[in-house]
Structures are given as structure tokens and as C-alpha cells.
Amino acid sequence: MALRRVGRPRANVSKPEQKLMASILDGSMTVGIVGLGYVGLPLALEFAKSGIRTIGIDVSTEKVKSLQAGKNYIQDLNDTEIRDVVKKTKLLTATTDFSESKHCDVVFICVPTPFTPNKDPDISHVVHATKGVAEHLRKGQLIILKSTTFPGTTEKYVKPILDTAKLECGREYFLAFSPERIDPGNRTWTTKNTPVVVGGVTSACTDLAIAVNRRIIDEVVPVSTPAVAEMEKLLENIFRSVNIALVNELAQLCDRLGINIWEVVDAAKTKPFGFMPFYPGPGIGGHCILIDPYYLAWAAREVDFVTNFITLAAEVNESMPFYVRAMIEREIAKQPVTLKNARVLLLGMAFKKDVDDLRHSPALKVAELLIEDGIEHVSYFDPFIPSVEVHGKRMTSRSALTPAFIKKHDVVVITTDHSAFDVDMIVKYSKVVIDTRNATRDVRGHRKNVVLLGDGK
């Protein structure tokens, strides 16, 4: 493939750019992935599977040791594929040593971007990882930040750190932002067939980032700056947060009006244009939709702007576990049992269906609220989450869900609609089922004991 097959032809292409582009196009480049979590490890696997030498760098000795032994720790990934790229083809290696980044032509940074207890952005992992890369930066390297963050991070925070290596960005080293769109648990949209957006600091940076991504991704969408790419990722997640909040608010209204919100959404989605269905639930969780809007709200405050939609959506979504708590306590009050002695069983702790990710899970928040209210017998079952810590106490999932165990509880709550749940059995043996996900929609016959969030009963 000719050098100028990507981007528009430019004069004065620097030597480091030419060399790097050639190594990307002929596949002789080495890729580095800093941060081997839900985003970094799938990316590392894709590159290694496509025949590219890949070095993973992580601060977690546990993860690095596991990979060195050829052991997978991400639910979505194939154990054999990980073992093969580590042990057979040996194209994937893992280390905690940042100096290994000097052997990489392209370095992706995929570290966490959490928030502080006050919900301000915490980009300390990005800063730390960038410093690690900057110490070993050499001519002809391309750095691509993938962590979701507020607009301006790449140019105002990452670039100044890399610039300490005294190399010229756009000619000697290259920098771009390219957000991640992975949706753990999604079998249809994978790394390969989900388009990816890239925004480089200069057009050379963009061209190189396009070329690298094209090695493993079918469609790459360039934008004019890193800030556009940073902002578009936030728009994607805020779009979801706002729409989920809208339907969560309507679910609460429907409960008062005696209308079933699920039926309303199903009817509305028959409109073939201009509508996209979103569903209510016990709240939002995970590392993205809950956190990312706060990144933009914080950045907006710096320019004296208040992001009303974001704040309102967060308020509604974060009120949902409290709403579910009220539903549970109402059902307890109808039974001859005190709050203290009531036995509540939560089904599903993961933040969404069929994943083992507990981060910011609304089910965990519900458990916390129930325990805070003095309910002493809160238990849970989740085939993906063996144990959790709630208010400093470890809770362990039942190994299996049996009729006898269900029957022991006064209220059973479906907090996550894992496919593995036998919903018919759950409804059959429960005194009361509070269904926050409409998981019981296909249960026929006896279902008078089902209390559905947003069904108006």
C-alpha cells in the first residue's frame, strides 16, 4: 500500500513519519498497550492475532503474571486465543516495566478515568501512564490515548508531558485521541466491525492513527482535532444517560398513572424513524455512562457553563436505586415481618446483563441502602460475581439458585436480567418478585406476585 493512501497528500512528510507509516503498512511495527483491562486487553489480542508484535504494560503485577502464564481474565475474550498469542505465536508479551515502551512504534493508553468522591475527573492514571511513556519517548513513535476523558485532555495534559522529551509533535513523534467503543457482552458489534473515530494533533498524527487502526478495524472515521474526538465520545455516552433518565422518569410517572411503561416503549418503537427505544431500570452503572457525563460537566464549569441536561439526567438515574429501595420496603410492609427481620434476595449484582463487571453497579447501591435501613438479611445470587463488599462486610453469592433458597425470602428482586436466570422458577417459588428489568415479561400463568418497575400497579 502506498504511503499516501490515507488522508490527503501533504508536502514535507518527515522521515520519522515515513518510517513509521511504512512499518504500520507492512505490519513490522510493534504495538504497546498501556493498561490491560476491559479496553486494553481485547485491543492487544486483536493486534497480536493479526500478526503484530504486541507488548502490554500494566501496573498490576497480578494481571501481568496472569498474561505471562497465558491466562485470560476478561470474560468476553477467548481463553485459547489468549493462550495462543502468548504461548504459541508469542506475539503478545506483558510487563510492568515502562521502559519496554521504547521498543514500541505505536503506544495505546487505555487506563481508567474514574471520578473523585466529589465526582470531579480523576485523570491521574492518564498522567502517570503518559509520564511512563514520555520517559522513553523516541523519534517515530505514535501515542494514541483511548481513555474516555474531557475535551482538551490530549492537547492540554498529555501533549505537554510528552513534549518534555524535547521532540516535535507531528514531525518527530505523533499524538492522537481515539475513543473506545467496546461494549462488553455484545456479540454483534465487536472491535473489528465497530467504526472507530480518530483525531490527531496534526494531520500527520491523524493519518498514522488511521493507518494503525485500519490494521484491525474495518472503518476508521477521522475528525479534525483530538478535542472533537474526545467530545464525540462524551456525546455518545451522555446521549445514553439522558435517554435512560428520560425513560426512568417516565417509569415513575407511569407507576402513578397506572400505565405500563414497557408497553409504551414497545409501542413507540414501532415508529420506523425518529425514535430509539431505551428502557428503565434500577439505575445505571459501569465505568462509562455513569462517570463520563461528569467529566463534561466539570469541563463546562471551567468556562462558566452549566450542563443542565447532564445534571438532570444524573439526578434521575442516581435516584433509581432509592426508588427500588422504596418498592422493596413497601412490599416488606405488606407482610407480617419487620424491616429488621425481612429476608431480601437480590438477583444479579453486575451492573448489566451477562457481564462480570461490578463497577458502580446499581444493584450494589440497592444492597447498601437496604443494609443502611437496618435490613439484616440481604443475600444475593449472581453467577458472574462470586462475592462483593457492602459497607465493609463481604457477601458471597449462592452457588446455585434453588426453589428452596428462593422460598426462604420475603422479597426477591431482579436487579440484573442475566440470561442464565430461570425466571419461571423464580416467579413460581417467590412470595413477591420485584422486577426492575422486565425480565418476567414472558412468564405465563401465575404472576400475581410480580411487581414490575413502571407498570403502574
Ligand X SMILES: NC(=O)c1ccc[n+]([C@@H]2O[C@H](COP(=O)([O-])OP(=O)(O)OC[C@H]3O[C@@H](n4cnc5c(N)ncnc54)[C@H](O)[C@@H]3O)[C@@H](O)[C@H]2O)c1
* Residues at the interface with ligand X (CB under 6 A): 34-40, 57-60, 63, 110-113, 125, 128-129, 146-148, 180, 182, 184, 287-288
The rounded distance, in Å, linking the Cα atoms of 203 and 424 is 57
How far is it, in rounded angstroms, from Cα 126 to Cα 110? 8
Judged by CB, which is closer to ligand X: 163, or 183?
183
Please name which of 103, 123, 105 lies closest in space to residue 114, comparing C-alpha atoms: 123
Tell me whether residue 97 or residue 372 sits nearer to ligand X (CB atom): 97
Identify which of residues 128 and 343 has a Cβ nearer to ligand X in the complex: 128
Please report how close the Cβ of residue 246 comes to ligand X at its closest, in angstroms.
Answer: 22
Question: What is the rounded radius of gyration, in angstroms, for the C-alpha atoms of the chain?
Answer: 24
149 vs 202 by CB, closer to ligand X: 149
In the bound state, the residue with its beta carbon closest to ligand X is 37
How far apart are CB 83 and ligand X at their closest, in Å?
Answer: 19
CA distance linking residue 259 with residue 250, whole number of Å: 10
- Which cell numbers hold the place of 230? 474526545
Distance CA 177, CA 143 (A): 8
Nearer to ligand X, 156 or 446 (CB): 156
Tell me the closest approach of the beta carbon of residue 150 to ligand X, in angstroms. Answer: 11
Angstrom CA distances, 234 to 131, 182, 266, stand at 25, 14, 27
116 versus 338: smaller Cβ distance to ligand X: 116
User: Distance between CA atoms of 429 and 52, rounded to whole angstroms?
Assistant: 53
Yes or no: say if 416 and 355 are a contact pair by the CB < 8 Å rule. Answer: no
Min dist CB 147 to ligand X, Å, is 3
**Nearest approach, Cβ of residue 181 and ligand X (Å):** 6
Is residue 169 part of the annotated active site? The answer reads no
Strand locations in 278-382 (E): 343-347, 377-381
Q: How far is the CB of 62 from ligand X (least distance, A)?
A: 9
Helix (H) or strand (E) holding 93: strand 92-95
Helical spans, DSSP H, in 71-179:
79-83, 124-134, 159-163
Strand partners, 452: 435
The least distance separating ligand X from the CB of residue 180, rounded to whole angstroms, comes to: 4
Minimum separation from the CB atom of position 271 to ligand X (A): 29
Instruction: Name residues whose C-beta falls within 8 Å of residue 225's C-beta, 6 or more positions apart in sequence.
Output: 155, 199, 201
Nearer CB in complex with ligand X: 153/397 = 153
- Whose cell is 407482610? That residue is 335
Q: What b-and-e string marks burial along 364-391, b requiring 16 or more CB atoms within 10 Å of the CB?
A: bbbbebbbeeebebbbbbbbbbeebebe
Of the residues 104, 169, 254, 288, which is catalytic?
A: 288
| Grid coordinates given for 164 | 518534555
d(CA 196, CA 207): 14
- Closest to ligand X by CB, 7 vs 37, is 37
In what helix (H) or strand (E) does residue 411 lie, and over which residues does it extend?
Answer: strand 411-414
C-alpha 171/C-alpha 216 separation (Å) is: 25
Q: Could you list the active site residues?
A: 288
